[in-house]
C-alpha cells in the first residue's frame, strides 16, 4: 500500500495551500478533490465567488509561490473601506493610515485555487487524486484512506480541508457547535457605470447589509443580505428586474449598473469542538465558518494553514502535542473573529431607536478614533 506523510482531503483554496506548504517541508503529500479548477482565460466572465484578501494572506500566498501567478491573472486592489447606516455617520479607512499601498485585494476564489494548483507541478512529492472523493478512513495509525474509486493508501496525518460539511470531521467523530442566522446572502456581479473603483463599502439596513466590492474594469460584486424568502424572490427575477431592485435598495454610491450574473447561499456559523482527533486535523471551513460580513473567512483559513505548518515543521506528524499547539494558536483568534462579527451583526440588526442612535454615534466616533482606529485596521488586515 502506498504510504504518504500527509493526506489533504479537499483541494480548495485552503486545502491547496496546506498541501503546497507541507510539500515545501519535504513531506510526501496526497490531495483528494472532486473537481479541478477550470483553466483561466483572461476574457472569461468574473466568477460569483470572490474574497477580500488581506495583506497577511498575500504574504502567506507569496511564501507558497502562488501570489505572482494570482496577480498576473486578475486581482483588484482596494485602498478605501467605508461602513455606515446613516450616511452622515460613517467610519472610513484608507491605506494611507498605515502607510501601505492598498488595504487588500478582491480576488476570485477560483483564481486563488488555480494558482495554488499550478504550484503542484513544481513538487514531485505531491500526488493528486482528482476527480475522486473520500469514502472512508480507518483511524489505526497510520490512517488508511479509501476513495470512491477504490484507491487505498495510508498517511501519518489526514488534513480535513473539505468545507463546512466536512466528511473528515464527521468520520473522526469531532462534534460541531453551529447555528443558522436565518438570513441568506445573494452575490450579484454587475457592470458599473462608474469607472474602476478602489473602494469597498457596506451600508447597514433593517433587513441586512448591502455591500460593494470592486472588480477589475467597470465591474463590481454586490452582496445583499436578507431573509431567505426575499433572497428567493430576488433570485427568481430576470436580470433587468433585479437591476431595478438593486437601484431601489442599494445606496446612491453604486450608480447605474447592468446585472451580469448572480447566486445565493444561507448564512451559518459553526465551530468544531476540537481541531484534531485520531490522526486528523481540521483547517478552514472544516474547523469554523463565520458570518461573511467583513470578508474574513478565507483569511482566517490561511492563518490556520500558517499555524499548522509552523507547529509541525520538523516535528513527528503523529505528535498530538503539535496538533494541540495548533489549536491553542488558532481557536482563540477564530472564536474572537466569529464573536466580533456576530456582535456587529446583531447590533446592526436591532431596530430600536436608542440602539440605532448609539450605533450611529459609535460609527461617527470610530471615524475619529485615531490610534484605536489604526489598531483595528491592523488587526483586520492581519498585520498585528
Q: Where in the chain are the domains?
A: 2-178+269-346, 181-268
pLDDT at residue 360, as a whole number: 46
Q: Is the pLDDT of residue 366 over 70?
A: no
Q: Mean pLDDT across the stretch 310-314?
A: 95
Grid cell listed for 320: 498530538
Q: How many CA atoms lie within 13 A of 144 on its CB side?
A: 6
Q: Mean pLDDT across the stretch 251-280?
A: 94
Q: Is the pLDDT of residue 78 over 70?
A: yes
Q: Is the pLDDT of residue 369 over 60?
A: no
pLDDT at residue 283, as a whole number: 98
Q: Is the pLDDT of residue 358 over 90?
A: no
Which residues are registered as beta bridge partners of 94?
80
pTM above 0.85, yes or no: yes
Q: Rounded to whole angstroms, what are the CA distances from 131 to 127, 150, 163, 335?
A: 13, 13, 17, 34
Of 9-18, 312-321, 368-377, minimum mean pLDDT range: 368-377
C-alpha span between 294 and 67 (Å, rounded): 22
pLDDT at residue 340, as a whole number: 72
Q: Mean pLDDT across the stretch 251-255?
A: 93
pLDDT at residue 295, as a whole number: 63
pLDDT band at 39 (very low <50, low <70, confident <90, very high): very high
CB 114 within 8 A of CB 126: no
pLDDT at residue 260, as a whole number: 97
Q: Is the pLDDT of residue 330 over 50?
A: yes
133 or 384, higher pLDDT: 133
Q: Mean pLDDT across the stretch 125-145?
A: 96
Pairing of strands 50-54, 104-108: antiparallel
C-alpha span between 347 and 342 (Å, rounded): 8
pLDDT band at 96 (very low <50, low <70, confident <90, very high): confident
Q: Which fold has domain 181-268?
A: D-Amino Acid Oxidase; Chain A, domain 2 (3.30.9)
Mean pLDDT of the chain: 89
C-alpha span between 156 and 173 (Å, rounded): 18
C-alpha span between 324 and 300 (Å, rounded): 18
Residue 79 C-alpha from the chain's centroid = 20
C-alpha span between 70 and 108 (Å, rounded): 9
Domains 2-178+269-346 and 181-268 agree in fold: no
pLDDT band at 210 (very low <50, low <70, confident <90, very high): very high
**DSSP SS3 for 304:** helix
Q: How many CB atoms lie within 10 A of CB 267?
A: 19
pLDDT at residue 370, as a whole number: 55
Provide the greatest CA pair distance for the chain: 66
Percent helix, percent strand, percent coil in the chain, to nearest 5 = 40, 30, 30
**DSSP SS3 for 356:** helix
Write down the residue that cell numbers 424572490 correspond to: 233
Q: H-helix or E-strand containing 226?
A: strand 219-226
Pairing of strands 143-147, 276-277: unpaired
CATH of 2-178+269-346, one of 3.40.605.10, 3.50.50.60, 3.30.70.270, 1.10.20.10: 3.50.50.60
Amino acid at each position: 500500500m502506498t504510504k504518504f506523510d500527509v493526506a489533504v482531503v479537499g483541494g480548495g483554496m485552503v486545502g491547496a495551500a496546506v498541501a503546497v506548504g507541507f510539500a515545501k517541508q519535504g513531506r510526501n503529500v496526497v490531495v483528494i478533490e472532486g473537481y479541478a479548477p477550470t483553466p483561466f482565460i483572461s476574457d472569461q466572465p468574473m466568477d460569483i465567488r470572490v474574497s477580500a484578501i488581506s495583506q497577511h494572506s498575500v504574504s502567506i500566498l507569496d511564501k507558497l509561490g502562488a501570489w505572482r501567478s494570482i496577480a498576473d491573472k486578475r486581482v483588484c486592489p482596494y485602498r478605501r473601506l467605508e461602513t455606515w447606516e446613516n450616511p452622515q455617520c460613517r467610519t472610513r479607512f484608507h491605506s494611507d493610515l498605515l502607510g501601505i499601498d492598498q488595504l487588500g485585494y478582491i480576488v476570485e476564489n477560483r483564481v486563488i485555487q488555480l494558482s495554488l494548483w499550478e504550484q503542484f507541478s513544481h513538487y514531485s512529492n505531491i500526488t493528486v487524486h482528482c476527480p475522486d472523493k473520500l469514502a472512508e478512513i480507518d483511524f489505526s495509525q497510520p490512517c488508511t484512506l479509501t476513495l470512491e474509486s477504490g484507491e487505498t493508501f495510508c498517511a501519518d496525518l489526514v488534513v480535513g480541508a473539505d468545507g463546512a460539511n466536512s466528511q473528515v470531521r464527521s468520520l473522526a467523530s469531532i462534534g460541531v457547535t453551529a447555528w443558522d442566522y436565518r438570513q441568506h446572502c445573494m452575490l450579484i456581479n454587475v457592470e458599473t457605470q462608474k469607472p474602476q473603483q478602489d473602494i469597498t463599502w457596506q451600508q447597514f439596513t433593517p433587513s441586512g447589509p448591502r455591500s460593494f466590492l470592486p472588480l477589475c474594469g467597470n465591474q463590481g460584486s454586490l452582496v445583499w443580505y436578507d431573509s431567505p424568502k426575499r433572497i428567493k424572490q430576488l433570485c427568481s427575477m430576470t436580470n433587468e428586474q433585479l437591476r431595478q431592485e438593486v437601484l431601489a435598495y442599494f445606496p446612491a454610491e453604486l450608480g447605474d449598473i447592468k446585472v451580469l450574473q448572480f447566486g445565493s447561499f444561507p448564512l451559518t456559523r459553526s465551530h468544531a469542538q476540537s481541531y484534531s482527533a485520531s490522526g486528523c486535523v481540521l483547517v478552514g471551513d472544516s474547523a469554523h465558518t463565520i458570518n461573511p460580513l467583513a470578508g474574513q473567512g478565507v483569511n482566517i483559513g490561511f492563518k490556520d494553514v500558517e499555524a499548522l505548518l509552523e507547529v509541525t515543521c520538523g516535528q513527528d506528524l503523529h505528535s498530538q502535542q503539535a496538533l494541540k499547539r495548533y489549536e491553542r494558536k488558532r481557536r482563540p483568534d477564530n472564536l474572537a473573529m466569529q464573536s466580533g462579527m456576530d456582535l456587529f451583526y446583531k447590533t446592526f440588526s436591532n431596530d430600536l431607536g436608542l440602539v440605532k442612535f448609539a450605533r450611529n454615534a459609535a460609527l461617527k466616533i470610530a471615524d475619529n478614533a485615531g490610534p484605536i482606529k489604526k489598531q483595528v485596521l491592523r488587526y483586520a488586515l492581519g498585520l498585528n
